[in-house]
Structures are given as structure tokens and as C-alpha cells.
């Protein structure tokens, strides 16, 4: 039916009849089978070409004249290349997100993801620890809908600045999985993670870098100059002589020292299991003698050393100047974690069995041996680290020419 939509004509409509307004194209009054009349505006979106229907209200709740005014406004929106239906849907979605903001925080989403997915995985401890250490402190309280790309970039920057580009990529992978899992459950959530956020190239992610003997001497010589923070120098030496990860040593506290053994708690160890690290005399000399607090600290043990990135850059600069002065080729790029791989290689070179060297690194025995062999191997691990210390001392002070002396604690 065609004609101007008025109250009089609307009141005469019968079930199933539709009245198309002659003045405003797309403005209709439709009588439902129940006898109720609904006003609406039908248009074609100029962007997508799709036909849209926008309900304007029921007759009785609004008048025919009020429905006409609404239809005029919507016609104006369409003329301006806007999509009123899409805008209304977005407004409703935004309102829903606002209502859910308190319950749909990143923390809440991660909790759901862990309960429904992560807890079933063998890597559950590693994934949960990554969220606890890196993600929750920075963005955990944010609404999932308010997390932007910049938040993710800044999160990854903070991890990478701690000399942990591969760790940043692992956290990114876990977070991408969590966000994609949630996006499959909530059509209003668009994950802020995009391609190109990874910090390493695929070929770089499996690092094989181990320092050569002359590079070990260059590092030690630079640490001896006195131009770097003492806590940093001591920690770097300890990393090589214990074969542990940076935070496992850098966050060590006096309470974790039991004589000549460092007891690293499970919450700070990557495997989620505690690890007892025997400390040789060569390693123990670099552990500050404190009653309480952090061992490697510039604040008397109150806070752990935190200037890793800056000190590492200064160390690299010192090494570069020294090697240029001595007529040596520049040292290839390296990271502190390479000291752990270097220590592992040196243990093999010193005749330490592969199983014992892996246990020094905190790795479990493979296969059924890892399940049934409950021997602590403390003596074997100590012997391995003694051999490592002896080889490091030989590298630093080779018989042929005394290249550099091991620095005494000042």
C-alpha cells in the first residue's frame, strides 16, 4: 500500500498489511499478525549495498508524526553515507561492554582461559607464570575491551628491554592464544594483537650463540674496568659460573643461600620446580655477603639490581673499544642468556656428562629416568661446576700468555 503515513491510515491497517510512505522513501508502517503496528525505515547501505531495516517503534508508544521525524533523521544519515543500523549496533555493544567492564577484565579473561584450556596442557605452569610475571601486573585490571595495540607494544617493550626478546615472543604467543580464545566466545571483542609484533625473526628464535674463549676474556676484562655497576659485574660473572638464568641469579636473596648452595624457589624457576645450585668458591666470591635482602643490589639489598639493559649496552661499548685497541675483530652481538649456553658448552668440553650438565641447568632427565630416578645428584652437580670454574680460570689465564687476571672483590 502506498500513501502518507498518518494516524488515521495506520488505525485502518489489517494484519499483514504494509503502508509505504509517499513522502519519505523507505518509511513504512507494518501491521503484525498480532494486530500491533510497528514503524520502520528500510534503506540500502551505500557502503556495502546491503538492505537494512531499522525499527522506529510501536504505534502507541510513538505517534505517526514522531515516527516520521525519526525516519527523516535516518534518511539524512543515509544521505551522509552513514549506516544507522551499524551505528545502533555499535552503541548497544559499547553499552554492553561498559556493563561488563568490571567482570571482563584481562585478569578475569585469563582466569577463564586457564580454567577451560591451559590447565589441561603440560605447559600449564609455564603459561600461568608468564601471565603472573609479565601480563597481569601491567594490564590485568584493564577491561578486555580497552586493551589497545599500544598496551601490547609497551608490554613487549618492557620484556625486551630486560634483554629477553625471545621471552617477549613467548608471552606474545600465550597472550595471542588467550585473546583469540576469548574472541571466539565474544563477538564484540576484537583482539589488539596483529602481525609484526614479534621481537625476533623465526631464524633467530632458536639461539645457538656461545661465546668463544677470546670473547669470554673480553667480557671479563671489561667487567674488571670498574666503569660498570659492581652489582651488574658480579651478577654477570655469577651467571657464567653457575649456568643459571638471569632472574634466577639477579633476584637471589640472602635467605636463599644455604652455606655454599643457592636454593632457588619454584616460583622463580622456569620449570616451576625448586633448584639447588652448588656454588663453587669461584662463584661464591661474587655473591655479596648480606644477612637479608637481595644479593645483587645497588640499594643495600632493599631492591634487586634493575639496570640490566643500560649496563649491558655499556658493557658492549667497553668490549668494542678494548677489542679495537687490541687489533681484534668486533665481537658478534650477544645477550646475557648466551652465558648459560656458553657454560653448558664448557661443561661438555671439561668432560662433564650430558645428563649431569643438563641437571646443572635445571633440566629434568628425559623419559622414564626423569620419573623414577629421585637421586639429587648434588655431588655430581658440584663436581660439574668445579670443572666449569677450572676451565673458565684456564681460559682467563691461559698458560701460554696471561691474558687477563680474575678480578678480586673490592
pLDDT digits (tens, 9 = 90+) for 16-26: 999 999 899 99
Q: What is the mean pLDDT of residues 244-263?
A: 93
pTM above threshold 0.75: no
Please, are residues 384 and 361 in contact by the beta-carbon 8 Å criterion? no
Examine the pLDDT at 289 and tell me if it is beyond 70: yes
For 335-349, letters b (16+ CB in 10 Å) and e give bbbbbbbbbbebbee
- The alpha carbon of 140 is separated from its chain's Cα centroid by a whole number of angstroms, namely 12
At 8-65, the pLDDT tens digits run 999 999 999 999 998 999 999 999 999 999 999 999 887 778 888 899 999 999 999 9
What residue ranges define each of the domains in the chain, with the CATH number in brackets?
7-95 (3.30.160.390), 106-204 (1.10.150), 213-396 (1.10.443.10)
- In DSSP terms, 257 is beta-bridged to 262
What mean pLDDT is predicted for residues 71-78?
A: 90
Cβ partners under 8 Å of residue 42, min gap 6: 26, 28, 51, 52, 53, 54
Average pLDDT over residues 90-97: 76
Between residues 269 and 339, which one has the greater pLDDT?
A: 339
Average pLDDT over residues 98-116: 84
* Cβ-proximal residues to 239 (8 Å cutoff; 6+ apart), any chain: 246, 249, 336, 339, 340, 343
Amino acid at each position: 500500500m502506498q500513501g502518507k503515513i498518518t494516524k488515521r491510515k495506520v488505525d485502518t491497517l489489517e494484519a499483514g498489511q504494509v503502508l509505504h510512505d509517499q513522502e519519505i522513501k523507505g518509511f513504512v508502517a507494518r501491521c503484525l499478525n498480532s494486530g500491533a503496528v510497528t514503524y520502520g525505515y528500510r534503506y540500502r547501505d551505500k557502503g556495502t549495498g546491503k538492505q537494512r531495516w531499522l525499527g522506529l517503534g510501536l504505534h502507541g508508544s510513538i505517534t505517526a508524526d514522531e515516527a516520521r521525524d525519526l525516519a527523516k533523521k535516518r534518511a539524512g544519515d543515509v544521505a551522509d553515507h552513514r549506516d544507522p543500523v551499524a551505528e545502533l549496533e555499535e552503541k548497544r555493544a559499547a553499552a554492553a561492554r561498559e556493563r561488563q567492564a568490571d567482570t571482563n577484565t584481562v585478569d578475569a579473561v585469563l582466569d577463564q582461559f586457564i580454567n577451560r584450556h591451559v590447565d589441561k596442557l603440560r605447559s600449564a605452569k609455564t603459561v600461568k607464570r608468564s601471565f603472573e610475571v609479565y601480563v597481569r601486573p601491567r594490564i590485568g585490571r584493564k577491561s578486555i575491551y580497552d586493551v589497545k595495540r599500544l598496551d601490547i607494544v609497551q608490554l613487549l617493550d618492557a620484556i625486551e628491554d630486560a634483554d629477553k626478546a625471545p621471552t617477549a615472543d613467548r608471552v606474545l604467543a600465550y597472550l595471542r592464544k588467550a585473546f583469540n580464545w576469548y574472541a571466539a566466545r565474544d563477538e564484540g571483542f576484537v583482539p589488539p594483537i596483529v602481525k609484526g609484533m614479534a621481537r625476533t625473526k623465526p631464524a633467530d628464535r632458536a639461539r645457538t650463540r656461545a661465546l668463544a674463549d677470546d670473547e669470554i676474556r673480553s667480557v671479563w676484562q671489561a667487567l674488571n674496568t670498574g666503569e660498570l655497576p659492581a652489582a651488574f659485574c658480579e651478577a654477570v660473572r655469577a651467571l657464567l659460573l653457575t649456568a643459571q638464568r638471569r632472574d634466577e641469579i639477579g633476584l637471589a636473596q640472602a635467605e636463599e643461600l644455604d652455606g655454599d648452595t643457592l636454593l632457588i624457589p619454584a616460583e622463580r624457576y622456569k620449570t616451576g620446580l625448586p633448584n639447588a645450585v652448588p656454588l663453587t668458591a669461584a662463584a661464591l666470591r661474587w655473591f655479596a655477603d648480606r644477612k637479608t635482602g637481595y644479593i645483587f643490589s645497588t640499594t643495600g639489598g632493599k631492591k634487586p639490581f634493575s639496570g640490566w639493559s643500560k649496563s649491558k649496552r655499556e658493557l658492549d661499548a667497553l668490549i668494542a673499544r678494548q677489542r679495537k685497541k687490541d687489533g681484534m675483530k668486533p665481537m658478534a652481538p650477544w645477550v646475557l642468556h648466551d652465558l648459560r649456553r656458553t657454560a653448558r658448552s664448557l661443561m661438555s668440553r671439561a668432560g662433564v656428562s650430558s645428563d649431569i650438565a643438563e641437571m646443572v641447568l635445571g633440566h629434568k632427565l628425559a623419559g622414564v629416568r626423569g620419573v623414577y630416578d629421585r637421586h639429587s645428584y648434588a655431588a655430581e652437580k658440584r663436581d660439574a661446576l668445579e670443572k666449569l670454574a677450572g676451565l673458565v680460570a684456564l681460559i682467563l689465564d691461559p698458560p701460554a700468555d696471561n691474558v687477563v687476571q680474575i678480578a678480586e672483590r673490592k
